[in-house]
Amino acid sequence: MNRFWRAVLVIGGMLLIGGLICAATIFLLSGGRLGELVQDQLARIRLASREADLNRPIGSETMPIRFTIDPGDTPRTVAQNLVYEGLIADADLFVDYARAYDIDTQLEAGVFFLYRTETLAEIAHALTDSASSQFVFRILEGQRLEEVAYELIDSNPFFGFSGAEFFALVGPGSQQDSGLTQFIGLPAGASLEGFLFPDTYQLPAAVTPIQLRQIMTQEFVSRMGSDLPAQARAQGFTLYEIVTLASIIQREAVRVDEMPLISSVYRNRLRQGMRLDADPTVQYGIGFRGGSWWPQITRDDYQNARSAYNTYLNEGLPPGPIASPGMSAIQAALNPEVSDYLFFRARCDGSGYHDFAVTYAEHLANGC
């Protein structure tokens, strides 16, 4: 072999070794992801001509869509499910975007609320943080269990369960935690009416019926603390009875500042052995009528609406709460204003306030 060919072989060997060294260096610098880096670059190249598609939402509907990523779902599976739910139009584009921006390694298992008004890029980033998918749920003071279940829950697109499923866990005959039962003084078989504390809750997307019940009853327990049950016992009442009275006050009062005076009327009546004659208890016993859970009642209803809750027919407190009272009503039940009043009726001026009376004759004179 002459000198020329030996030089060629030497140079070729050096180039081969150099190439191998360069390749090894690139491989090491890539953390062993050389193939993935190549795929990432190819994905970026494909995305370069798809910017308009990335930033164009698929629709204009504002209704939230529950979307679930199960543990072990690949970016391809996620993309195909997004197409199936009508959230994106192109699964390959989603996979390319997720790969190019390292989102494919950040996708989280969980439940998300997505919208067709979001772009593919916005959806991809949203799927990296399941904890941020929360929603607001508000229970108003004075609402009954059926309203919470069949109106609030069933009309809320964020829930992944029905009002009937929730009602089965809180309605009559439902099984409750023994600690909660003891704290409330809950009779056997009684519902949780009155003990789902009315408030505004920030709920996780994946909340279950059991978790929702726990969240609201824990809020009730937290608000009561140890002082309020002790205060009730000192007055000869159970917490269950105080909440029952508070629920009536909540439904009767329009003005919060009048609650202690309304409470005094009922406490005076109980003390004297008079029937409470509370219209909301009649409504509760009737239930859903005329498109409302709190129907307009007639004079006939006072005597003909046969129910254990009708305090025109039955003495003392009804069997249990008739709605969810707020703290103002509970405090009023425990701390009534001192008065001799035994009657009250709505003022004729539409102010929401009431006229109070000691005698029935005075009560009649307050009529409009």
Give CA angle at 83 (104, 160), nearest 5°. 90
Residuewise pLDDT in 10s, the chain (368 residues): 566 556 555 565 555 565 555 544 544 554 555 556 666 667 677 887 788 888 899 999 888 999 999 999 999 999 999 999 999 999 999 999 999 889 999 999 999 999 999 999 999 999 999 888 899 999 999 999 999 999 999 999 999 999 999 999 999 999 999 999 999 999 999 999 999 999 999 999 999 999 999 999 999 999 999 999 999 999 999 999 999 999 999 999 999 999 999 999 999 999 999 999 999 999 999 999 999 999 999 999 999 999 999 999 999 999 999 999 999 999 999 999 999 999 999 898 888 899 999 998 888 888 88
CA distance 175 to 30: 58
Within 8 A by CB and 6+ apart from 277, the residues are 269, 311, 312
Identify each DSSP E strand in 246-365 by its residue range. 343-346, 354-357
Identify each DSSP E strand in 33-109 by its residue range. 65-69
Sequence ranges of the chain with CATH classification 3.30.1490.480: 55-132
Q: Provide the CATH topology of domain 55-132.
A: Dna Ligase; domain 1 (3.30.1490)
